Amino acid sequence: MRAAALVEALKRMLKAKGITYADVAGAIALSEASVKLMFARGDFTLQRLEEICRFARIDLTELAASAGEDAHGVTQLTDDQEKEIVSDPKLLLVAWCAVNNWTFDQIVATYALTDAECIGCLTKLDRIRIIELLPNNRIRPLLNRTFAWRANGPIERYFRARVESEYLGGDFDRNGELFLFLSGMLSNASIAELIGELRRVARDFAQRHRADLGLPLPQRFGTSLLIALRPWELRAFSQLRREGAMDGPAERLLSLQQGARGRRKA
């Protein structure tokens, strides 16, 4: 088992218990800065690991199991599996809840599903191996921490089709909401740099999601982040272009990229 998976599992379990680096530092007689560095580097002796687990009341076997799930879980579904999930709104709902650490009781108490319907959906998800359905309807997610829906796959297309009418239909004026739309003229280099920064934001979102999975359900909220960037011109503007005038932004960027590739080959 990779040490990194063990450290990530320990961080997640400490956060779920509300234990901070400062708490750990006090318990093992180190400075908070030293503890942060130890976690950042994954530089643990077995004795330190046992001390932290003893303080946090974390069973080493449970920690190893959690780390093993990260290393060996499902990383992606097949196209057919995603089609099966998205074809049934109730199955899609239960899948979303299950992989976000909802319990059976929380699902049926929150949504208009009978026990039989929920169990039927969980059984299908167990067959697909997204989850393991345990005795007493306990749910164990089987997804790797790098899991992602298929790019432009059935589930991504399902949500994308509803972005404009449902997601963007609100006013974004409540706490915890933000809407920014910026438009300007950037160079090819600036666009590449900005795309890199936005990818880092997306990775940060995914890391925060994984870290918060261990928190109680009342402390977590369904949250969506939409990131988009592309050369674009309003259709009302492009329709007013004179014949033979300079191409629009998308065509000019493509031309610049093709030219750059041609110069590199030469």
Mean pLDDT of 168-175: 89
- How large is the average pLDDT for residues 101-122? 96
Q: Which of 78-92, 172-186, 229-243 has the lowest mean pLDDT?
A: 229-243
Full-model pTM: 0.63
Beta-strand ranges (E) seen in the chain are 131-134, 138-141
- Cβ pair 9, 70 in contact under 8 A: yes
pLDDT higher than 90, residue 72? no
**pLDDT at 74 exceeding the cut of 80:** no
User: Which pLDDT score, from 0 to 100, does residue 252 have?
Assistant: 56
With a cut of 50, say whether residue 1 has pLDDT above it: no
Domain ranges of the chain: 3-72, 79-141, 162-219, 235-265
Distance separating alpha carbons of residues 14 and 7, to the nearest angstrom: 11
What's the token pair of residue 12?
């997640």
| pLDDT for res 259 | 59
How would CATH label the architecture of 3-72? Orthogonal Bundle (1.10)
Burial classification of residue 33, based on how many CB atoms lie within 10 Å of its CB (0-12 exposed, 13-18 middle, 19 or more buried) = exposed
Determine the pLDDT at residue 2: 61
